[in-house]
Structure formats: C-alpha cells, structure tokens
Homo-oligomer: A and B are copies of this chain.
C-alpha cells in the first residue's frame, strides 16, 4: 500500500472487537477497555472512547525488494472472515533508537534480529499492518495490528515471543499487548 492511510484505534465500550486481554509489558499502562473499534480516516471517532490511538500506514522504511516481494507473495488481506482473533501492539522505542542512522537501524532490525524474516514464517496465517505514530505526535511510535484465525493463536504467541527476545526489542521502552476476539 503506497498511499498513507490514517487509522484510529478507539478503546471503550463499543466496537466489533472484544478485549480478551490488555497488559502493559514495558512502561506506563493503558486504561482497560471492553471493546476496540478500528476506524480509517483522519476524522473524529464517533461516540465516547476511553482512549484513541492513531497511526498512519506509510512506505516501507527498512524492507528491501527481495523481502518486499516475499511479503507480497505470502500475505493475506485484513478482514478475512476466518480471522476472528486480533492483536493490537502499541510500541514506543527509545531516543537511542531514533538517534541511530538508517544503516544502523536496518542492521539491528534485520541482520541482527531477523524481524522481517521471522514475520514471513507466519504468513499467510497471521496478517499484519503497521501504523506509524511518532511523526504524528502520538504517544506510541508504532501500532501493529494483527489478524489471525483461532487455530493460529499458538503460532501468534510464538511469533511475538521470538520478536521480544531480539536485539531490536532492547530499544523498546513502552509496549502494550492487547488481544481481541470478534
């Protein structure tokens, strides 16, 4: 997807996604909510929300052509009817991360941590969309949204556990893990 899409994730009492679990893994917590609504576009979110997290899809920042072609060949769209599980994982990285040069960040993300390669292993079951919040002045640098069928719940646990042991994750200074069921 090339044209940036603005997306709001609204936590509150309404929305198609019921919160099964919400936990702060690193840093300050996020208020518990019963449901989450995902709304595309830059407008306001109708109704009352306990929190609204915003991000924008963007051009790829680290992915090279070979990796991008592999992702495109393997990935499924969001909104599959069988994908009744979702996860929203808001993350903020440290100043040390953002002060690195481009080649240093790429080295840590892929050559050291294999972030892209690990994600590829879980396609097509686990669909994923990354939203950037940092340049919008949002509290979270990244909002990653995952959708998967119930039968892939174990694979999803494995995926996030593997990523959290990487060198890249040493730069994560805030991480919330929100699991959802539709």
Q: Using a CB–CB distance below 8 Å, which chain A residues touch chain B?
A: 2-4, 6, 42, 56, 58-65, 67-68, 95, 98-104, 106, 132, 134-137
Give, as a whole number of angstroms, the nearest-CB distance from A5 to chain B. 10
Known: A61-B61, A64-B103, A65-B104. A42 touches B98 (CB 8 A): no
Q: Report the Cα distance A59→B62, complex, angstroms.
A: 13
Q: With a CB–CB cut-off of 8 A, which chain B residues contact A6?
A: 137
Give, as a whole number of angstroms, the nearest-CB distance from A177 to chain B. 25
If A3-B98, A64-B103, A67-B101 are given as contacts, then 19 extra A-B residue pairs at C-beta distance below 8 Å, sorted by A number, are A2-B99, A4-B134, A4-B135, A42-B137, A56-B135, A58-B134, A58-B135, A59-B99, A59-B134, A62-B102, A63-B102, A64-B102, A64-B104, A65-B100, A65-B103, A65-B104, A68-B101, A102-B106, A136-B136
The answer on a CB contact under 8 Å between B101 and A64 is yes
Known: A135-B136, A136-B135, A137-B42. A60 touches B101 (CB 8 A): yes
Q: With a CB–CB cut-off of 8 A, which chain B residues contact A95?
A: 2-3
Give, as a whole number of angstroms, the nearest-CB distance from A74 to chain B. 16
Give, as a whole number of angstroms, the nearest-CB distance from A171 to chain B. 12
The 8 closest A-B pairs by CB, nearest first: A64-B103, A65-B101, A2-B98, A68-B101, A56-B135, A59-B98, A2-B99, A4-B135
Q: Report the Cα distance A56→B2, complex, angstroms.
A: 19
List 16 A-B pairs, Cβ < 8 Å. A2-B98, A2-B99, A4-B135, A4-B137, A42-B137, A56-B135, A58-B135, A59-B134, A61-B102, A63-B102, A64-B102, A65-B103, A65-B104, A68-B101, A135-B135, A136-B136
